[in-house]
Amino acid sequence: MTDPNVIIDPVTRIEGHLRIQAYATPAGDGGTIGADVLVASTMVRGVEKILQGRDPRDAWAFTQRICGVCTVVHGLTSVRAVEAAANIKVPKNADYIRNMMIGAQYVHDHVMHFYHLHALDWVDVVSALTASSSETAALAVKNNPTYKPNNGALPTAAYFDSIKNALNSGLVSRGQLGFFSNGYWGHPAYKLSPAENLLLLSHYLEALTWAREVVKLHAIFGGKDPHPNVVVGGMPCSISTNTGSISERAGGTSLNTAGLTIAKNAVLKMQQFVDQVYAPDVRLLALRYSDWAKIGKTTGNFLSFGEFPDPTRVKTELTDGAIDYPDGYILPQNVITSPNLKTLVGFDQSKVTENITHSWYSGSDGVHPSAATTDFNYTGPAPDPEISGKPYMLDPAVKYSWIKSPRYNGKAMEVGPLAHILIMYARSLTTKALPTDKLVKYYVDRWWSGSTASGGLGLAYEDLNSTMGRIFCRMLETKIIADQMAGRPAVSAAGVTSFTGWYNQYYANRTGKYFNPTAFAKLASYATLPDKVGFGFTEAPRGALGHWVKISRSTGMIENYQCIVASQWNAGPRDGASPPNPGPYETALMGHKLARLNQPLEVLRTIHSFDPCIGCAVHILDPEGKPLVEVDINHATRC
Amino acid sequence: MVRVLGYFRDGKNFAEPVGEIELDADTEARIAELGISRRGLLTSLAGMASLMALPQSIIPAMAQTVVSPKKPSVVYMSFQECTGCLESMVNSFAFRGGASIENLLLNIISLDYQETLMAAAGAQAEEQLANATATPNGYVLVVDGSIPQIANSGFFVSGGRSGVERFRAAAQNALAIVPVGTCASFGGLPKADPNPTGAVSIRTLMTQLGISKPLINVPGCPPIPEVITGTILYYLTKGLPSLDSLKRPKIYYGETVHDECYREEYFEDGPRVAVFDDKAARFGGCLIDMGCKGPVTHNACSTIKWNQGVSFPMMAGHGCIGCAEPDFWDRLNINGKKGFYQRLAPGSFDD
């Protein structure tokens, strides 16, 4: 093995702890990354082991803490898994609120990912400080004509002067660049003009204020964010009988008039920011960096578990539930296999396996997660070179990561926004097309494939499978979901009528039920629970997320708990096939051309395009060695 | 006159008028030199002071701290964590123009290392860490996440170094150490039974490594954002706040969540919630029978509240799960039964 000459550790602006090692064939100051690239997670906690023997009603709180960024989706996936195990149905209001909480997480996460985690790969902060304020103001009016951050008015030259002054007085003049220190400023791969850099940097700062406003939705329904409260059997919140302010005398809940107005304003602010700022900014970035639509491709296999059920399809409340109607899922439950990016394939969860050939576990390898028995087995190098006397270096020929490699039908699958958009586009071509699918097709055809003269990017559909395609698809799904929450007008060119939005649908039904009163009683009579494994799933902002739970019929406690998490699909190491199939991160990085080996900005661009969530990706399965025999997938077999 | 909103109590904002504030000539000159808004700065600081229940007389000292030619350096390191604490801190606001994260990052502190936000990566990030931690007593070290006690277990490695050694090196020159979140403060989720990775709190690790530094625990899963930023700002202005036996600042952790909860009124005589979404739940009744751990949990959720004061767990209908207390995943239970829906044993707390 050639010694790696590109090492990024820690990879920053991600969730969790990640190391990248690669060998690049040198050319000048730069080089081209070869096939021995490896991506490794170097932190583990063992959350599933901690869950064993606990009350299944508590599992959501533990699994939320798998990740403070993906908190809502882990909590709700867990709740759905326990509900599936005990055949508990939840009221429509619970599904409306869950949809909005997951939807709010999408919008919040994706916008913050773009501006706070990803933008600095494309935006040169030092260049921004040299921008002409009047040019930037002119650009703002052109790029974001309806966005008025300047006390309700369009930004002016003076407005951008004040932003430059704030950065200069706060950071530059004191010689303390703080979190902007030591970036790759001036790197030849940065291409935006100073005004474009300043415009996006101003949105970086404004998005922080916006984000604090929109997460209030989680606080109204879940009491706080991060880690809002959810519950098995519905939602813990209830409509307030006191519609005015809460007080010690009058009581009340956060679902009073004021609270519901805050939630409504949050969904409207989400929609506005996406339409006015995020969507046009992504299109501007994609236009300037359209060469990145040819870089960062994965093998072309995509997977989605499905998300956002339609509560209006429920026939009899508490007898059936929205989750039982997969045809209505906004994000379909499907697979796409290379090279047929427009053809839907049915999802069959029995084809999922987990591979540990290159992961620091011992136990079963390459079997269905329900049959896997594994435990920690760290065989990597000793850390701390000053003590061990050897450099810390991982070897792609052996075990090198705490992440396991899930495979579908033996193939590595990419999950996340790119998978969602491709699968929705593919469904738009079938008789099962939902209005949201038609909108996806409409916007992809117009904004991505449309000519640059007509405001598009002039890029091929297949080029969505790329670093820039991921960024574009993340933005597009954010728009689809923001509109789904807040409502949207008809788009006749797409053949789509208007939609009132989940918030309004919920509001009209707000005095209805929030919780299934038999839920806890069912779990308390555990001896009569069905003998099955509960499968809970969501499509998290980063992709397919599944939890499996087995509740003991002799104690009522958790016998076994397993998660397969979005970033695990994308960030997992090679598998044990011959030759080994690398994971999507690794595949995407092969062949990357770097301008400077010692400033691997290009690698960060592609890795960040996946939005790594590494705390999520690392977990262990079934250390007690009790195989799970039956998995409930009724919803999966029906679509 | 600078007017600031203070605590939310009984569903009402109580406005605390702040009179004219006089600053020393040097501070005034620095504000002018930096070109920042005097009014904006003072409003922000008054908001922070109000949240900490400090008199407005502290504001000039705070102003002096934040406009000093060299901003105080903060190094924020992450170990076995979920990023929830940082997400929370980014939500910091402090009512009406307070120490928002933008304000904090641009004007108040120099955040010299924070992996989730920083521009630098890999070798440049490591270089930044080395530079930021080079000066003796040069920075406040904020830590989130627990750390596996055995260095070469492989359960935490970053930049080729174990959590233990990474922390030891960063702690060496720190002015003070502020574990943020219940994992760093007390071990948290990784340390929950059966503690698969041998995770320990920062305080335990410091004892093991023989590191003696001022320590302020800021627990919570995650902590309230203003409690994080307020603690840092308090330390930078006035030094160590008064701490309880668990090293928590009494200004934020002196009372239980139950003490200040508006539903405490219904603890004795009801209504009490028996099933989620029942009549009492819609009224806003006491959640003690639903397993609420408010009476044994020290935190400011029911006073400062969450996400700009809009709600807190009980206000949204769920009991407190005790997330700011040591070993809350395992300890807050009765009759050996763990669980967030298990009622606290009668007599196990003072009402």
DSSP of A220-279, one letter per residue? Answer: HHHSSSSS---BTTB-S--B-S--S--BTTTB--SBSHHHHHHHHHHHHHHHHHIIIIIH
* CA–CA gap between residue A47 and residue A63 (Å, rounded): 7
Judge: B316–A174 Cβ closer than 8 Å, yes or no.
Answer: no
A-B contacts (CB, under 8 Å): 370
Give the best residue of A5, A6, A17, A73 to mutate against chain B (max B CB count within 10 A).
A17
User: What's the confidence (pLDDT) of residue B7?
Assistant: 39
Residue B94 contacts A where some CB pair is shorter than 8 Å = no
> Does B82 show up as a binding residue in the annotation?
yes
CA pair distance A483, A501, nearest whole angstrom:
7
A237 is in an annotated binding site: no
User: Which residue numbers in chain B have pLDDT < 70?
Assistant: 1-19, 51, 53, 93-100, 332-336, 350-351
Whether A614 and A571 have beta carbons less than 8 Å apart is answered as yes
Q: Max alpha carbon distance in chain A (Å)?
A: 75
Are A611 and A541 contacting, i.e. CB atoms less than 8 angstroms apart?
yes
**Beta-strand runs (E) in B52-160:** 73-78, 110-113, 139-144, 147-148, 157-158
Considering all CA atoms of chain B, what is the largest pairwise distance in Å, rounded to the nearest integer?
Answer: 63
d(CA A508, CA B38): 47
Residues of B in contact with A622 (CB under 8 A): none
Residues from chain A that touch B310, judged by Cβ atoms under 8 A, are 216, 219-220, 254, 259, 262
Say how many C-beta atoms besides its own lie within 10 A of residue A431's C-beta: 5
Q: Are A575 and A355 in contact (CB under 8 A)?
A: yes
Q: Note the pLDDT of residue A626.
A: 38
Which residues make Cβ contacts (< 8 Å) with residue B245, sequence separation at least 6?
none
d(CA A105, CA A120): 22
- Copy the structure tokens of residue A539: 């499509």
Residue with tokens 């008025």: A148
d(CA B304, nearest CA chain A) in Å: 12
**So which residues of A are the catalytic ones?**
15, 67, 70, 74, 542, 567, 613, 616
For tokens 């990566």, the residue is B121
**Structural element, H or E, at residue B233:** helix B225-238
Quote the CA–CA distance of A478 and A111 in Å, as a whole number.
Answer: 8
As a whole number of angstroms, the distance between CA A206 and CA A119 comes to 14
Give the nearest chain B residue to A620 (CA atoms).
B196
Centroid of chain to Cα A566: 8
Whole-Å CA distances, A301 to A341, A345, A414, A570: 8, 11, 6, 11
| Helix and strand totals (H; E) in chain B | 13, 10
CA angle B177, B183, B188 (to 5 degrees): 145
Q: Which residue has the tokens 């028996």?
A: B274
**Cross-chain CB nearest to A252 (options B88, B162, B284):** B284
Amino acid at B272: R
Query: What pLDDT is recorded for position A632?
Result: 31
Match 């339609």 to its residue by tokens.
A310
Kind and range of the H or E element at B43?
helix B38-51
Alpha carbon distances (Å) from A474 to A71, A209, A281, A471, B328 = 19, 21, 13, 5, 37
Which residues are bridge partners to A413 per DSSP? none
Angle between helix A467-486 and A92-112 (nearest 10):
140
Distance of CA B167 to the CA centre of its chain: 20
A67 among annotated binding-site residues: yes
**pLDDT value, residue A625:** 35
Interstrand relation of A6-8 and A18-22 (parallel, antiparallel or unpaired): antiparallel
- B124-143 residues touching A, CB cutoff 8 A: 124-128
CA A246 to chain B, closest CA, distance in angstroms equals 5
Q: Are A168 and A125 in contact (CB under 8 A)?
A: no
- The whole-number pLDDT of residue A629 equals 30
Q: What is the pLDDT of residue A295?
A: 98
DSSP assignment string, A445-491: IIIISS-GGGTS----GGGGSSHHHHHHHHHHHHHHHHHHHH-B--B
Q: Which residues of chain A have pLDDT under 70?
A: 1, 373, 615-639
Q: Check CB contact under 8 Å for B196 and A42.
A: no
A250: left (phi over 0), alpha (psi -120 to 50) or beta: alpha
B123 and B181 Cβ atoms separated by less than 8 Å: no
Rounded Cα distance, B266 and A182, in Å: 56
Cross-chain Cβ contact B122/A600 below 8 Å: yes
For strands A593-594 and A30-33, give the pairing.
antiparallel
Give the integer Cα–Cα distance in Å for B48 and A458.
51
Closest CA to A615 of B116, B195, B119: B116
| Cα–Cα distance measured from residue A76 to residue A98, given in angstroms and rounded to the nearest whole number | 8
ipTM of the shown complex = 0.94
A505, two tokens: 């649908």
- Terminal CA-to-CA distance of chain B, rounded, Å? 41
In B241-260, the residues whose Cβ lies within 8 Å of chain A are none
Given the structure tokens 């005004």, which residue do they identify?
A195
What would the two tokens of residue A218 be? 């989680």
Most A-contacting residue of B80, B87, B303 (CB-CB within 10 A), to test interface: B87
Angle at the Cα of A118 (from A114 to A124), degrees rounded to 5? 110
Averaged pLDDT score across all residues of chain A: 93
* Predicted local distance difference test score (pLDDT) of residue B351: 57
pLDDT at A169: 78
Task: Give the pLDDT score at B233.
Answer: 84
DSSP output for B176-217: EEEEEHHHHHH-HHHHSTT-TT-EE-HHHHHHHHT----B--
Q: Distance between terminal CA atoms of chain A?
A: 46
